[in-house]
Every structure is written in structure tokens, then in C-alpha cells.
Structure 1
Amino acid sequence: MTEPIFLEPVFHEKIWGGRKLATDFGYDLPDGKIGEVWAISAHPNGPDTIANGPLKGKTLDVAWRENQEYFGHQKEKVFPLLTKILDANDSLSVQVHPDDAYAAAHERPGELGKTECWYVISAEPGSYLIYGHHAKTRQELADMIHRGDWEHLLRKVPVKTGDFVYVPSGTIHALNKGIMVLETQQSSDTTYRLYDYDRVGADGKKRELHLQQSIDTTTVPSHDPELNITKTTKDDATITTFVTAPISKFFSVYKIDLDGKLNQTPTAPYTLVSVLEGAGTIEADGKSYPLKKGVHFIIPNQIKAWTFTGKMMMIVSTPGAEQ
């Protein structure tokens, strides 16, 4: 396949969601509080459908199993990454995600752990995240969770538009009201909630908490990863490297600010691209494909060179080493 793989996104209603994915990105949303668009997904809880080319009509999970030539003949049983946009119209639950070993032992067969990262598309003035905690030992963590001593346990971190946040598995975290992010993560849908503001769901009941799993999987003591964010220029683009190996073994994530042309060749078996601002084209194998804000696609293994043209901001990710 010598053309990009464009995808039809899947939308998920959330108690904390809103309608900004329609107003800001032009998505045709279903009714309700839509919190997430799963933009590049092969996860069984929301696999995207391929919109073009020889694989048109297949879901990405089926293509991963049946058409490995498009992905460089990888050994992973499942497509390893998931790209989302999240609209936090209200605060998300305070939560933590397991690593691969814990997920394999305690969740459905094939479920991965969840290391993720956020590019902050927009954040209202005064916005902050829950990121990390103040407990020094696991016993202190458990005691503070069971007492509900959130004021002393949880760490609040200011955040603004354009920030990048890396969230390894084991990190207590939460997006708060007024923040929209592009999330790059392992392909997992496992979340352990330790606090949910005593909210009730559509059924009138408080949502389930996972206190023991949270205590078991949280990294103690908490620590911030030391990122080495760098900027380089190439052709008519500025490329910001947010995270890559050895800090992250699961993915590399970049931002491309383009005003003109950018010629690229692959650095991985396949490449994931999300257009977050502007419009332009991608040219591959002599053909040109239009791009605009809100479009997400995969550059498959068969494409050995491509050119972006236009005025765009894109978040690009590539998979880490095979696990």
C-alpha cells in the first residue's frame, strides 16, 4: 500500500465530556457528553475503520492481524498504540494505570498496561492537573487513600496550552475541567479510579472505585520523569521531540510546525499522524492527499518517503521497540 491509511474515528460518551470536539474540530458527534475521540485505535473497545485504499472497510485490529506487510511484520499480537483527543468539560476521576505485567496478570487476555502522554491542545486560564502524590511509603499511600485525605495526598501541577506531559504507568493523575489534550498511549483501556468526587452515573449510582488496584500499582514514592525536549529545523518545519527512547520504550512523540514543505523518510516501521491545526497535503508515491484539522492517519511501511506541504501543526508518533 503506497497511500496513507485514513481512519474513521470512534466517539465515547463520558460523564465528564462535552461538545467541544464538534465546535473545535468539526466532528459529527453523536448525542451526549462526548469526552473522547479514539482517532487511531485498534483496541477492541473501539477499533477504527479504515476509510480508503485496499483495506477500506476493515477495522484496524483486523488489518493488524491479517495485513502485517503494511506495518513491517511486527511481532506484537495487538496494535500497540492508541491516539485520542480528550475534552475535559468536567474533571476526570483521579486514577492510575497498571504496567504490562500487572495488566497481563489481572485484566483480560491481551490487555496491555498503560503508559500515556498528553499534548495540551487548549487549557483555560488557571488550569491544573493532578499529577503524582506526596506519600513516602505504600502504607502511607494506602492510609491516605482510605481516609480520603486527598488534600494532602494529591499533587496539583499548573498546565497551559502547548504543554507536554508524560504519564508513565503507576502515576496518579487526572485531567481537570477546561483542558483538551491529544493523548498518545499504549493500546489499553484499563483505568483504576481512586477518587471520583462522589459523582453518580446515568444509573444513579456512584461509579466503581478500584482502591486496592490503585494502591498495588501506584509508584511510591512519586517522581517526575526527566524529559529532554528538543527542537530542530528541517526544510520549512520546526520539529519538537517530546519523548523517545530511552525515557519511553513504548513510543516516540513529536510535534511538527510546518509553514511550507517538509520532506521525510521513515524512522520506524509505520508512523501515526494527527493534524491539530491548519491544512495542507501529504504527497507519497506521486499522489497527493488533502489534510485538515482533525484528520488522523497512519503512514504504512510501504511508503519510504513523503512530503508534507501547507501550514499545519501535527503530532506524530512512532512505536517503540518490539516488546
Structure 2
Amino acid sequence: MILYFKPIFLDKIWGGNKLKTLFGYDSSDQCGEVWGISAYKDLQSIVNNGPFKGRTLKDLYDNEKQLFGNPKQLEFPILVKIIDAAKDLSVQVHPGDDYASKYNSYGKNECWYVLATDNDTKMIIGHKAKTKDELNQLIDNLEFEKLLNKFSIKKDEYFYIKEGTIHAICAGTVLLEVQQSSDLTFRLYDYNRLENNSLRPLHLNEAKAVINVPDNKILTKHDNTYFDYDIKTITGSFNKTAHVHGDYIAVIEGSGLINDSPLKKGDFLMVSSNDTYDIIGNLKIQITNF
């Protein structure tokens, strides 16, 4: 079974209009994220076709286990989104599962696939401190230029952000993100920006507790225990049997058909457990599994 999901649009103080211009979404000019596949709290993907139309992904995961191959995870474990950073995002870090359990949350490991950049767009991943004392001193003194590992990026690059890794998406970046189903973030620095006339909160002590030291290695496509992900460029036809827990598809370029149903850039969908599907057309997709 193939299930399409309605996108969920989230405006952000750093968002822009590229989700509208690049993907044709009916989003605002300050939209920072479109959540395409989500069972997270009140941001639930809703099925847009077929016999389950109008039901949420969480509802299906809880009550139609056969679609997902009867997985062992109690909650749907992944989240797939597209991010448009018209301005720099905060410098931040995510904890792992153990630390996150204090907040009744999962940790957050994530991967990024760069969809578009402006000229000489940057990214921040990792830091230059060699010891915990050096890290804490640089943070306390707000010496982020000295601390952070900042570098140029280009379209079609993959990056894996492991729990405990300082990171920031910088202005001019549009990317596809796959992550654990969590929104737990500890901010280190936010450029003294105001939101609703107030500075957004920082979480320095929590961040210091979970940051990896040392952490100057940039991971690209990286095997992990939370999800698998792969880009497929299709010219003509593509045939596949879905993973036992389903295939979760984001269409990032082009258009075509999947089992005779229309498929276009910006679509998010799932193919249920062990079902076979055929895609015809000229398009690029990312397939995620858990």
C-alpha cells in the first residue's frame, strides 16, 4: 500500500520562501521547515489518499501494525523534514537517548542531505576544543569563532550529526533531514535574536553535559542503529520491495509515477511492509528505513 502524507509547515524566525519557490508548497515567506513524515506529538502527518485518508501516522502505527511489519519500537521512530535556512540557525546540540530520558524524550541523531545552497554557504559541525576544560572556557567566554568548526558546503553532500555534536545550519542552506523522532535541543548561541520581543533561551549547562570532546571529525553518510537512508536517481524505471518496516520516500527532484499514481517533487509517502513498487520517470528520491 502506498500512503501519501500532507506536509506540515512551520514558520521560523530564520525561515524563508525557498520551500515555496523550489517545491511549490503553499507555505509562507518565513517557512523554515516542512515536516513530511512525522508522528511526533501534535505535529502528526495525515494520510492524504486511500482507505486510511484523514488518519494520522501515529494512529496507523498504533493500530495498523501490519503496515509497518509489526515493529518492536513502541513509537514511530523517525522524522523526515525539509529545512530552509534564510538566516543562521542557533548553534546547538542534541543529547542521546540516555540523557534525553530525563526529559521523557528520545535523543536525536540526524542526517542532512544538501538540496540547495547560495554562494559559499557555510555549515557548522563539531568543534576545536581538545579537552572538556577548554570547551567550557570557550563557551563561558562566548568565544564561538575560536571554538566552532565552520566550513563551506555544496549541493548533494551528506552529513551525519551524531548525538553530542555541536552544529548549526547556516544561511543559504536548503536540506533534507532524517532524524530520530525528537525535538529536544540545547542552544549554545543564538546571535542575540529576539522572538516575540524576548531573547530565546539558552541551555549552556545542559549543552556542556552532552557535548562530545574531542569532536572535530565531520561524518558524511554514516551507518547507525536508528535509520538507513539512500538517494536514488531514477531515469526510466525503478523497482523495489519495501523494507519489512516500510519505505519512507521524499521526492527531491523531478516527477513520475509510482504504481501508476502521480509522483512529484516535494511529495512525502510511505510504501507499507514488504510491498513491491515500481517508479517510472525522471526524478531523485531519498528512501529512509528504520
Name the TM-score, length of structure 2 as normaliser.
Answer: 0.97
Q: Distance between the aligned counterparts of 1:261 and 1:33, measured in 2?
A: 37
Question: Does the alignment pair 1:18 with 2:43?
Answer: no
Question: Does the alignment pair 1:193 with 2:208?
Answer: no
Which runs of 5 or more structure 2 residues have no equivalent in the other structure? none
| Residue of structure 2 in register with 1:103 after alignment | 100
Match 1:83 to one of 80, 83, 96 = 80
Q: Distance between the aligned counterparts of 1:219 and 1:5, measured in 2?
A: 39
Name the TM-score, length of structure 1 as normaliser.
Answer: 0.87
| Structure 1 segment 204-223 matched on structure 2, within 5 A | 204-223=197-216
Q: Distance between the aligned counterparts of 1:77 and 1:225, measured in 2?
A: 32
What amino acid sits opposite 2:17 in the alignment? R
Question: Does the alignment pair 1:93 with 2:90?
Answer: yes
Question: Does the alignment pair 1:150 with 2:144?
Answer: yes
Q: Distance between the aligned counterparts of 2:198 and 2:121, measured in 1?
A: 28
Q: 1:54 Cα shift?
A: 2.1
| Greater alpha carbon shift after TM alignment, 189-198 vs 31-40 | 31-40
What amino acid sits opposite 2:51 in the alignment? P
Give the 3-state SS of the residue equivalent to 2:40 in structure 1.
Answer: coil
* Contact 1:255 1:313 (C-alpha < 8 Å) held by counterparts: yes
| Residue of structure 1 in register with 2:30 after alignment | 33
Q: Distance between the aligned counterparts of 2:203 and 2:69, measured in 1?
A: 38
| Residue of structure 1 in register with 2:120 after alignment | 126
Q: 1:32 Cα shift?
A: 5.5
What amino acid sits opposite 1:164 in the alignment? Y
Paired positions, count: 290
Match 2:106 to one of 112, 120, 132 = 112
Q: 1:306 Cα shift?
A: 1.2
Give the 3-state SS of the residue equivalent to 1:50 in structure 2.
Answer: coil
* Contact 1:120 1:160 (C-alpha < 8 Å) held by counterparts: yes
Q: 1:267 Cα shift?
A: 3.7
Residues 318 and 94 (structure 1), Cα distance of their counterparts in 2 relative to 1, 3 Å cut: same
Q: 1:223 Cα shift?
A: 3.9
Give the 3-state SS of the residue equivalent to 1:8 in structure 2.
Answer: coil
After the TM superposition, list the runs of 4 or more consecutive aligned residues in structure 1 that deviate by more than 2 angstroms. Answer: 223-227
* Contact 1:138 1:220 (C-alpha < 8 Å) held by counterparts: yes
Aligned Cα root-mean-square deviation (Å): 1.3
Q: Distance between the aligned counterparts of 1:104 and 1:269, measured in 2?
A: 25
Q: After superposition, give the CA deviation of every residue in 1:78-115 in whole Å (9 maximum; x if it has no partner).
A: 1100000000000000000010111112x1x3x21100
Give the 3-state SS of the residue equivalent to 1:157 in structure 2.
Answer: strand
Which runs of 5 or more structure 1 residues have no equivalent in the other structure? 228-241
Q: After superposition, give the CA deviation of every residue in 1:276-323 in whole Å (9 maximum; x if it has no partner).
A: 11100111xxxx2110000010111151x111110001111111xxxx
Q: 1:63 Cα shift?
A: 1.3
* Contact 1:96 1:192 (C-alpha < 8 Å) held by counterparts: yes
| Residue of structure 2 in register with 1:164 after alignment | 158
How high is the sequence identity, in percent, across the aligned residues? Answer: 38
Give the 3-state SS of the residue equivalent to 2:137 in structure 1.
Answer: helix
